[in-house]
Structure 1
C-alpha cells in the first residue's frame, strides 16, 4: 500500500454545492461529500441544522438560504461536537444553540484539541480560520428528546438522541409531518464513515435501529446525497451499518488473534476498499477509524482525545 498524503491535506479542490428543497420550507445543502447542512422554516423563524467549519463558510451557506427565506435564525441545532460542524456558529446570530448534553460536555473536555486536529486534517474546509471567535457552546441541552413547535400549520421538529454512535452525543432532527430526517453523521449516503470518536457496536446495532425506525421518506446524512424514498433511506442506513459491521469483524479477528494495529488496518482496508474505496474521505478516515475500534476492543470505553500530534503518529504508524 503506497504512502498517502495526510488525511485530506491535499484535497483542495472546491466542491459543487447543491441546495435542495425537500418539502415546503425544508432545505438541505450538499457538496460532493463535504459536510451537509440544512434548515427548516417555522412560521416566523428558522431552525438551522449544523454550522459549518468557519463563519465565512457558514455565511456562504446562509447567502444561498436567503434566496429562499429571510426569516431570522432562532435555533441552531448541532448534531455533535466536531469542529467542522460547529465552529461557524457565530455567523447565524441564533437566539438558541441546541445540542445534546453530552455534546456540551465533550466541547469542554476536548473541543480545543478537536479544533486543531480537524483543521489540520481538512484545511480546505477551514475557510479563513482566523474568523472563528472561539469554541461554540450550546445554550440549550437535553438528554433524550426536545420538541420545537414550528408555529402555524408547520407542525413540529423533534430532536432525538438515539444512543451512542458517531460520538456519544449525536442527535437527529425529525419532521414527522414531512417525514424528513436530518441524521447528521449517524448515517452517510455513499460516503465513508469517520469513526474515530465512535462507539462502534452501539452504533451498528441499537442506535441505527432507532434511526431506521423513523421510517423517513427523505434523509439528509452527514455527507453524500439526500436519500429520497423509503428504499433509498433504508439503503443508506444499511450501508452505514455494513461499513461498521465489516470493521468490527475484521479488526476483531486480528485483535483476537493477537495481531497488531497495522495488521488490523491492512485487513480492514482490503475488506472495505472494493466497495467504499472511491467514496469521499475513505482513505482519510480509515486509519483513525481502525485505531479507535482497536482501543474499544482493548477495553478503552471512551475515545482517546485526538490531537494534531496524535493524528500524525497514528497516520504514520499505519502507512507503509
Structure 2
C-alpha cells in the first residue's frame, strides 16, 4: 500500500464556501467539508458560533455577515477547544467569548499542544497564521446551560454530554427550532474522534434529537434544512461513531495490536465512509482513541505534533 500524505497536508485546493439561511436571520457558513461557522442575528447584535482557524479565515465569515446585517458582533461562542475552531476569534472584535467550563479547562491542559498539532495537520486552514495573536481564551464560561438574549431573540447554550470532546456545547434558537451543533454532528464528513468519547456520543445525539430541530448547522458538511435532513445526519453520525468503535474495541479487548484494530476498522468503515471529507485524515486518530477507550482510558491522551507523526507512520505509512 502506498503511504498516504500526512493528515490533510495533501489537501491544498480552495473550497467553495456557502452562506445558507437556515431560519429567520440564522445562517450556516459552510465550505465543502471544512469547519463550519454559525451566525445568529438578534435585534441588537450578532452571535458567531465557532470562529475558524485564523483571523484571516474568519474574515471570510465576516464578509458574508456584512452582506446581511451591520449589527455589531457581540458574542463568539466556542463549541469546543480545537484550534481550527477557535484561533480566529480575535477577528470578530466580540465583547464576550463564551465556552463551557470543560472547554476552558481543556485549553488550559492541552490548548498549545493542540494548536501545534493541528497546525501540522491542516496547512491550508492555517494560511495567514501570522495573524493569530495567541491562544483563544473564553471570557465567560458555564457548566451546563446559559441563556442569552439578543434583544427578543433567545439563545440557549447547552452542554448535552460528552461526544467529539468532553466540553462540546450546542447553540439552540427556540424561536426557529434551529440548532448549531459543532462537531457533535457531521454530514457526509468523517467525525474526528481523536479526543472523543465513543461510549457517550450516541446518548448526546439522542439529546439533540429530543429537541426535534427543524434545521441544523453541523460541524462539517452542508447546512441541514428540514427535520428529515437533520434526522439523517444524526443517524449517519451515530453509524460512523459506532462503526468505528466496535471493531476496534473487539480487537483491543481480544489482545490484538493497534495495527490489527486499524485493519478491522477499515473492513467495516471503508465501504460506508471512504468518500466522506477528511476520512483518511481522521481514521488513524479515531482508531488510536477507540483502542485507548476500549482498554479503559477515559481521559483522551494529548495529541502533540510528535505523537501525530509517530502514530501516522505506524498506521498509515
Q: What is the TM-score with the length of structure 2 in the denominator?
A: 0.98
Contact 2:23 2:215 in 1 (8 A): no
Runs (4+) of structure 1 moved beyond 3 Å?
none
Instruction: State the 1:150 CA deviation.
Output: 2.1
Query: 1:99-138 alignment to 2 at 5 Å?
Result: 99-138=99-138
Equivalent of 1:309 in 303, 306, 309: 306
Match of 2:148 in 1: 148
Instruction: State the 1:187 CA deviation.
Output: 0.3
Instruction: State the 1:92 CA deviation.
Output: 0.5
Instruction: State the 1:68 CA deviation.
Output: 0.7
SS in 2 for 1:124: coil
Equivalent of 1:201 in 199, 202, 210: 199
Instruction: State the 1:2 CA deviation.
Output: 2.9
Match of 2:293 in 1: 296
Instruction: State the 1:120 CA deviation.
Output: 0.5
Match of 1:222 in 2: 219
Instruction: State the 1:257 CA deviation.
Output: 1.9
Please tell me whether residue 87 in structure 1 is matched to residue 62 in structure 2: no
Match of 2:264 in 1: 267
Match of 1:8 in 2: 8
Contact 2:98 2:141 in 1 (8 A): yes
Of 294-303 and 179-188, deviating more is: 294-303
Q: What is the TM-score with the length of structure 1 in the denominator?
A: 0.97
Instruction: State the 1:163 CA deviation.
Output: 0.6
Contact 2:22 2:216 in 1 (8 A): no
Equivalent of 2:279 in 260, 282, 286: 282
* CA distance in 2: counterparts of 1:230 and 1:53, whole angstroms: 30
- Structure 1: runs of 5+ lacking an equivalent: none
Of 230-239 and 75-84, deviating more is: 230-239
Instruction: State the 1:270 CA deviation.
Output: 1.9
Instruction: State the 1:227 CA deviation.
Output: 1.4
Instruction: State the 1:255 CA deviation.
Output: 1.2
Match of 1:158 in 2: 156
Instruction: State the 1:151 CA deviation.
Output: 1.2
Instruction: State the 1:119 CA deviation.
Output: 1.1
SS in 1 for 2:124: helix
* CA distance in 2: counterparts of 1:249 and 1:41, whole angstroms: 41
Instruction: List per-residue Cα deviations over 1:78-115 (Å, max 9, x = no partner).
Output: 00000000000100100000000000010011000000
Instruction: State the 1:138 CA deviation.
Output: 0.3
Equivalent of 2:180 in 159, 171, 182: 182
Q: CA RMSD in A?
A: 0.9
Instruction: List per-residue Cα deviations over 1:146-183 (Å, max 9, x = no partner).
Output: 1111213xx31111101111000000000111011100
Of 56-65 and 78-87, deviating more is: 56-65
Q: Aligned residue pairs: how many?
A: 317
Match of 2:33 in 1: 33
* CA distance in 1: counterparts of 2:131 and 2:149, whole angstroms: 33
* CA distance in 2: counterparts of 1:212 and 1:191, whole angstroms: 19
Instruction: List per-residue Cα deviations over 1:271-314 (Å, max 9, x = no partner).
Output: 11111101100000010001011111112111111000000010
